[in-house]
A and B are shown apart, each in its own frame.
Chain A
């Protein structure tokens, strides 16, 4: 049995060290920072009977834009019909509907300034009660909105804001 010579061991150790350093040292032009991830609160469990889709298909942007316009129009109409457009677990659902009719000025008009990004976050397939298969998608749309109304004391007011609107879409297959 031969023992490696001390010089060869030193050379091997130096080579390993140099390789390691070269691997982890940043090179000019390739440095990048990690973006902060803001988790969107969302249920993580699948609905009973739902199965994940192998290849998600993005929901048509037109459907989302039309949905945004529809729910904004319902808001501007004093909340008439908006209950059909809100999920059952929408936060403060009934109180929100009541506030639209009671607190929001009658002449208030909610306008869509821009529908920015539209992203399909989740997509599962499920079966309806009648046995028909449906594709259920959760889509987040970043919408810039503006509420306009006339204040009795200060005159015309506009309140602009941006929010991510998360829609649940059921499409027949």
Chain B
């Protein structure tokens, strides 16, 4: 198919425009619409008349479109006035109709659980039906604008960071205040009251109208002025428009004017009183622990019964002290957690504004659970502090008794260890223990009823605990004996002049036996050191290669002795020794 047209000029009124008429090829059927400006085509017979018809149709189509737009978007905020009326319908005072509407609204509020104290607000509504129909009970919280907008910035940054939208409430900033409106519920009012008490908000009100809602006055001139001023929502409060009608509101603008919370705020846990929600912290007990008490061990056996009594009390004292320390540490940990979470909750409350009304109940429930958990921390910490304080009081009560027993025990143990005077009870056993009347004391000694005593010890090697000189030399200052026998202070290393071939030896003392080791070709050689000179026990000592020698030690002083040896053939030698070391 091919199309060719010719340009024509068509005028409607003063307006003319060129258009092109097209001719449809034969056999294709149907016409072709015109093409504006510059088009080319084959002209149809009668094209000029068709162009005029098209122009008229376009004009009518534009008018219809404008009319349709006016119908769709032309509805203004004010109801259209009836023909010849200055006030929109329902805006005039109609007491009869208003009474019916108010009664119906009260029934609705009562059915929704609104308490009578708030139902009374209905009576304060203006008597124009349109106002009553737009009444809605809501809680308006007044925030400080600076802090609220600071929270808004944080909220926006969170939105950017997490790609999520933090729900915001229905708010409006006016002057230094931000009005936040939420639907009334017992929980919402309780939260607003708590916010006012804690200083998070400046005021709160429960209101039925979010605007002034002034009825249209009588008289055409006044009605026209009412219309010019803005109608229902005209600003009747000067230059500061209110977001609610204070005439139909109940609330407070300070914590002091808040008074007691109404009893109908049933959604709050009754156990969570206002003081508990505000976080009363009990006074902490003293953090410093009294010192622990040690177990006493008396020297005198007769004081052991008293010591046992005192130690039992000391154990009780130490147990209480440990309990106090544990309770205080746990309470301190819970208190730190409580304070930390309080900061988090405050930041959270500042960041997240009230959400939409659809999830108000779920949000309030979450807030309550959060607050209950928070308060539970404080309650637990306070209980532990109370317990710790009671434990401390018990500790203080025990201390005088303990000190009294300590004094008695000290007096008992520092006196001569004599048996206590006879009492009504059974006398203590020889080992200090007390047994029940009629019960024999434990028999000391080995089994079989044998009497065993230690007569003597013979040192073999090493330290000799049952040798008195050994004890003195081990535990006396300087390692030498001070109270031993004649040879008591002679223990040590000696060097001789070699007259008997000994040269160097060491003198040890066991009971009344001296031992010289080394002793020439002999092993350790023992002498009877009960006195001086001390004879050797052996008569076969080898001296200078010859056997069968008997020797004696002659003590000169603590640091010197002389060895005299004789053999069976009459040979003798004498070698002096001087101390060379300890």
Q: Which residues of A contact B (CB under 8 A)?
A: 39-42, 60, 62-64, 66-67, 70-71, 75, 78, 80-81, 84-87, 89-92, 95-96, 99-100, 103-105, 110, 138, 140, 142, 145, 147, 159-172
Contacts and interface: CB of A to CB of B under 8 A. Distances in A.
Contacts, number: 135
A40 B445 CA distance: 26
A5 B434 CA distance: 99
A80 B452 contact: no
B465 A161 contact: yes
A167 to B, nearest CB: 5
Nearest to A71: B454
Contact of B464 (A90, A161, A169): A161
Interface residues on B, range: 35 or more
B471 A100 contact: yes
A70 B446 contact: yes
B448 interface: yes
A159 B470 CA distance: 11
Contacts of B463: 145, 147, 159-161
Contacts of B82: none
Interface string B242-268: 000000000000000000000000000
A110 B464 CA distance: 11
B355 interface: no
Given A161-B459, A161-B461, A167-B452, A95 B475 contact: no
5 contacts: A41-B537, A140-B458, A159-B465, A161-B459, A171-B451
Nearest to A101: B299
Given A66-B447, A91-B468, A169 B452 contact: yes
Contact of A103 (B449, B458, B460, B472): B472
Interface centre among A96, A160, A166 (most CB of B within 10 A): A96
Contacts of B448: 60, 63, 171
Contact of B456 (A39, A90, A110, A169): A90
Interface string B452-485: 1111111111111111110110111000000101
Given A86-B454, A91-B512, A96-B471, A165 B466 contact: yes
Given A99-B471, A166-B458, 12 more contacts: A42-B456, A63-B452, A66-B445, A67-B446, A78-B299, A85-B454, A87-B454, A91-B468, A104-B471, A159-B462, A163-B457, A169-B452
B511 interface: yes
A165 B457 contact: yes
A166 B451 contact: no
B542 to A, nearest CB: 13
B457 A67 contact: no
A85 B453 contact: yes
Contacts of A90: 454-456
Interface in B118-133: none
A159 to B, nearest CB: 4
A168 B453 contact: yes
Interface centre among A70, A85, A92, A165 (most CB of B within 10 A): A92
Contacts of A84: 444
B431 interface: yes
Given A99-B472, A110-B465, A92 B455 contact: no
Given A100-B471, A172-B449, A75 B455 contact: no
A87 B446 CA distance: 16
Contact of A96 (B458, B466, B474): B466
Contacts of A163: 457-460, 464, 466-467
A85 B53 CA distance: 148
B450 A171 contact: yes
Contacts of A160: 462-463
Given A92-B469, A99-B468, A103-B472, A162 B460 contact: yes
B301 interface: yes
A95 B453 contact: no
Contacts of A164: 457-458, 460
B461 to A, nearest CB: 5
A110 B474 CA distance: 14
Contacts of B460: 142, 161-164
A105 B512 CA distance: 24
A62 B447 contact: yes
A55 B558 CA distance: 49
A95 B462 contact: no
Interface centre among B445, B453, B485 (most CB of A within 10 A): B453
A89 B299 contact: no
Contacts of B457: 163-166
Contact of A166 (B446, B449, B456): B456
Interface in B533-559: 537
Contacts of B458: 40, 140, 163-164, 166
A162 B461 contact: yes
B58 to A, nearest CB: 116
Interface centre among B455, B461, B471, B483 (most CB of A within 10 A): B455
Contacts of B462: 159-162
Nearest to B451: A170
Nearest to B459: A163
A167 B511 contact: no
Contacts of A100: 471
A39 B528 CA distance: 13
Q: Which 5 A-B pairs have the closest CB atoms?
A: A161-B462, A159-B463, A66-B446, A92-B468, A96-B468
B453 A91 contact: no
Nearest to A76: B465
Contact of B445 (A62, A70, A89, A142): A70
Given A66-B447, A159-B474, A89 B455 contact: yes
A64 B455 CA distance: 13
B301 to A, nearest CB: 7
A37 B290 CA distance: 67
